[in-house]
Amino acid sequence: MAGRVVDGDGRPVAHQLVEVWQANAGGRYIHKRDQHPAPLDPNFTGTGRFLTGADGSYSFQSIKPGPYPWKNHRNAWRPSHIHFSLFGTDFTQRMVTQMYFPGDPLFALDPIFQSITDADARARLVAVYDHDLTTPEWSTGYRWDIVLTGSHRTWMDAEDDA
C-alpha cells in the first residue's frame, strides 16, 4: 500500500501522523466486541502508525483484509477495507476514513459505502492496483492518495465530519 497525503491544491502534507487499522484476512478484528467466529491470527495485530515523508508519501505492507458480517441487515457483509486516521496540528484536527479495494462485489450492498451519494467521491475511496508496487510471488500493490481539503477531498466517516 502506498500513496500521498496532499492538501486541496495538491501540495504534499509532510510529517502527517497516520494510523491504520483493519481486520485480518478472515475478516476478524482483534477486539473483544468482535465475536465473528473467524480465527484470529496470532501474528497479525491489524494496526499501524507512521508519518508521511517530506513529499507527503507513505507506504506500508499488510495483508488484504477479509470482508466481515456486521448484522446491519440480513446477510450483511462489509467490503474489504482499511481504516485511516490522520491527525492535524491539533488533537481536535482528525480525519477518519476508509480505503476500499477495487472490484469488491459488496460495494452495492454496503450502506456505509452507498451513503456517499456522489459517485466521484465514492470512487476516490477505492485504491488502484499498481503493478509497480507489486512484489513478485509475495504481494499485490495498491496506490491510494488522501486529499485533506477542497472539492476533491477524501470522504470522512460521518461521525467525524463535524
Q: Residues 58, 68, 100, 142: which is the catalytic one? A: 68
Is residue 74 part of the annotated active site? The answer reads no
Q: How far apart are the first and last CA of the chain?
A: 28
Q: Residues 28, 29, 58, 142: which is the catalytic one? A: 29
**102, three cell numbers:** 477495487
Sign of the CA dihedral 133, 28, 45, 116? positive
Measured CA to CA, the distance from residue 91 to residue 18 in angstroms comes to 13
Q: Residues 4, 28, 58, 83: which is the catalytic one? A: 83
Between β-strands 68-69 and 77-78, what pairing exists: parallel, antiparallel or unpaired?
antiparallel
Place of cell 482499511: 82
Q: Residues 4, 28, 58, 78: which is the catalytic one? A: 78
Q: Residues 81, 100, 124, 142: which is the catalytic one? A: 81
Is residue 129 part of the annotated active site? The answer reads no
Element of type H or E holding 121? helix 119-123
Is residue 31 part of the annotated active site? The answer reads no
Is residue 68 part of the annotated active site? The answer reads yes
Measured CA to CA, the distance from residue 99 to residue 112 in angstroms comes to 12
Is residue 152 part of the annotated active site? The answer reads no
Q: Which residues are tagged catalytic?
A: 29, 68, 78, 81, 83
